[in-house]
Amino acid sequence: MYKEYIGFVFQAYHLIDELTVYENIETPLLYKNVKSSERKAMVADMLDRFNIVGKKDLFPIQLSGGQQQLVGIARALIGKPKLILADEPTGNLNSKQSEEIMELFAQLNKEGVTIIQATHSESNAAYGSRIINLLDGKIV
């Protein structure tokens, strides 16, 4: 079920070291049995959307933390999930990229995607329609 409906954005990226940027983004589509021609078009769209076309043949170790974060976000979104679970999704991005990602999440939410985000950023939290604050593991 999670392969069909959930996209994960990890704080530590969790990219597959042995796969290129292209292959990391493509992986969720392989599990969903998306046809090759459709996969190519979808991955090309994500590479373009996140401005990482020039990085498509690189491996994670060859990328900056911010670039790895963008690949992780692209991988989470490519399968068009209904739920996105995001742990500090902009933690390694510059302020402009962070704002762009949060605007993208806001747009996806308006289109019906549920987004659960764990963050220490008050500006990122402000994008949410509901904010739950935790202190020492307890809801406050």
pLDDT computed for residue 2 by the predictor? 66
Taking CA 79 as the corner, what is the angle to CA 75 and CA 84, rounded to the nearest 5 degrees?
A: 75
Burial class of 1 by CB neighbour count within 10 A (0 to 12, 13 to 18, 19+): exposed
Residue 1 has pLDDT above 90, yes or no: no
Q: Which CATH number fits domain 2-139: 3.40.50.2000, 3.30.465.10, 3.40.50.300, 3.20.170.30?
A: 3.40.50.300
pLDDT > 90: percent of the chain: 97
Looking at residue 19, the DSSP 8-state letter turns out to be S
Instruction: Say if CB 76 and CB 86 are below 8 A apart.
Output: yes
The string of DSSP codes covering 100-139 is HHHHHHHHHHHTT-EEEEE-S-HHHHTTSSS---EETTEE
Average pLDDT, the chain: 96
pLDDT computed for residue 4 by the predictor? 77
82-113 pLDDT, tens digit each: 999 999 999 999 999 999 999 999 999 999 99
